[in-house]
């Protein structure tokens, strides 16, 4: 099966994750997709194909040489972001893209505009997979899945390419920060791995945000508004005061590169009770810790003004910067760099302004840099992926295996 056909099949599965279910996988669609992948991996000839009760899929491409070669792995996630629906994805291919705006949906007048998304112009003449503008596409990370499976299929079909043992692993719930929760590193058995979960062609990443999630709950007191003076405490107004106390320019829309932020991702409330959900991000561990302390400091200020217990903070670390685990084994980054250049891709080494399963796996003794999967505009209606970028990512995987086989 070619990579385009495989990718289009994968995005037909609804695999949106949901942090509120407290289950793994968090949604039934992910297990349905995992079962499909389980059968597909067996059908293309991989061995030790395994699907566990948590929805993790693993498989082996055995070595075809007697050389002593380290076992390496490739990892991608099966879920898509809860930021936008992925139900009934209507993907289509814009063949020989002309470099202009793309009308995604004539009825709803949804247009992928080059003025807003100028990066797409670099793919003029290529074949671009888009949606109809009513769902996300799911290239994050079904492009990565398609690239890994197609690369394994290619290596099986080309036994003249010597390679060592290769392990592949597919995870649920990466988008809600739980993709590594039940990943059995010992069972996976690789010396190192690569997540195929990056963005545009050429991206190669070995450092990412330190990340935490914060929830502030504010208790109020409701009194009839006609008789509320000196009695009512409107929790929504207190919550609004809290948001205004954070640095207004330390938000995603005002930051780039190594700049961290506080990001308000959800809010709900009544007079009696309100809640604010934040994510906290910073590449530097010291600044990251200071950001968390600042959240507690502001909660304390609210309580000092409105009474103890008015605001409470729940804070949970999600993952840390993999750099400290990858730097001691930089040869694995160098290998990916070499493979990219060998297949005609210019490496673009940059920090991830986000996270991958590889960040947490790196702290569980599986160093795991991140390689591009080729997509753009993840988590929204304007997501797209060039077919040629997926093909190049697939060949990077093959070339990594080939280079290792030649050592």
Residues of the chain with CATH 3.30.70.360: 210-319
Q: How far apart are CA 221 and CA 234, in angstroms?
A: 6
Report, as residue numbers or ranges, the catalytic residues.
79, 174
Q: How far apart are CA 283 and CA 286, in angstroms?
A: 9
Can you say whether residue 173 is alpha, beta or left, with left for phi > 0 and alpha for psi between -120 and 50 degrees? left
Q: In 142-296, which ranges are E strands?
A: 166-171, 192-198, 203-205, 210-219, 261-269, 273-282
Q: What is the mean pLDDT of residues 93-99?
A: 98
Q: State yes or no: pLDDT of 407 exceeds 80.
A: no
Rg (CA), the chain: 23
Q: State yes or no: pLDDT of 315 exceeds 80.
A: yes
pLDDT at 406: 87
- pLDDT tens figures, 117-127: 999 999 999 99
Percent over 90 (pLDDT), the chain: 95
- pLDDT tens figures, 132-169: 999 999 999 999 999 999 999 999 999 999 999 999 99
pLDDT at 355: 75
Residues of the chain with CATH 3.40.630.10: 3-208+321-405
The CATH architecture annotation of domain 3-208+321-405 reads 3-Layer(aba) Sandwich (3.40)
Residue 171: pLDDT band (50, 70, 90) is very high
**What residues form DSSP beta bridges with 129?**
93, 385
pLDDT at 119: 97
Q: State yes or no: pLDDT of 318 exceeds 90.
A: no
pLDDT at 7: 98
CATH 3.30.70.360 fits 210-319, yes or no: yes
């Amino acid at each position: 099966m070619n990579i385009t056909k495989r990718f289009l099949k994968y995005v037909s599965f609804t695999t949106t994750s949901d942090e509120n279910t407290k289950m793994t996988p968090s949604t039934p669609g992910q297990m349905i997709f995992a079962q499909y992948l389980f059968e597909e991996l067996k059908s293309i000839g991989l061995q030790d194909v395994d699907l566990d009760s948590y929805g993790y899929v693993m498989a082996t491409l055995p070595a075809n040489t007697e050389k002593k070669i380290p076992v390496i792995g490739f990892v991608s996630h099966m879920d898509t972001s809860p930021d936008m629906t992925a139900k009934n994805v209507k993907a289509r291919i814009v063949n020989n893209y002309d470099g202009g705006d793309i009308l995604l949906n004539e009825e709803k007048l949804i247009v992928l505009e080059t003025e807003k998304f100028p990066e797409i112009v670099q793919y003029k003449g290529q074949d671009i997979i888009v949606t109809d503008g009513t769902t996300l596409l799911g290239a994050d990370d079904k492009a990565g899945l398609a690239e890994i499976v197609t690369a394994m299929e290619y290596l099986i079909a080309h036994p003249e390419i010597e390679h060592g043992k290769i392990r592949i692993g597919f995870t649920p719930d990466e988008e809600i920060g739980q993709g590594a929760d039940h990943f059995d590193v010992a069972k996976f058995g690789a010396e190192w791995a690569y997540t195929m979960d990056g963005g545009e062609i050429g991206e190669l990443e070995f450092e990412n945000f330190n990340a935490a999630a914060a929830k502030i709950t504010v208790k109020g007191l409701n009194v009839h508004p006609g008789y509320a003076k000196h009695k009512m405490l409107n929790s929504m107004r207190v919550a609004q005061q809290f948001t205004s106390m954070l640095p207004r320019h330390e938000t995603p829309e005002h930051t780039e590169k190594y700049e961290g932020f506080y990001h308000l991702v959800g809010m709900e409330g009544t007079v009696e009770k309100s809640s604010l959900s934040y994510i906290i991000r910073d590449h530097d561990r010291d600044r990251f810790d200071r950001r968390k302390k600042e959240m507690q400091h502001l909660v304390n200020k609210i309580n000092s003004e409105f009474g103890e217990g008015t605001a409470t903070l729940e804070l949970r670390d999600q993952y840390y910067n993999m750099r400290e685990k990858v730097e001691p084994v930089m040869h694995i980054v160098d290998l990916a760099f070499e493979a990219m250049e060998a297949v005609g891709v210019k490496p673009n080494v940059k920090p991830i302004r986000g996270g991958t399963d590889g960040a947490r796996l790196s702290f569980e003794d599986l160093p795991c840099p991140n390689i591009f999967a080729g997509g753009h505009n993840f988590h929204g209606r304007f997501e797209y992926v060039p077919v040629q970028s997926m093909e190049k990512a697939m060949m990077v995987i093959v070339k990594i295996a080939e280079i290792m086989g030649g050592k």
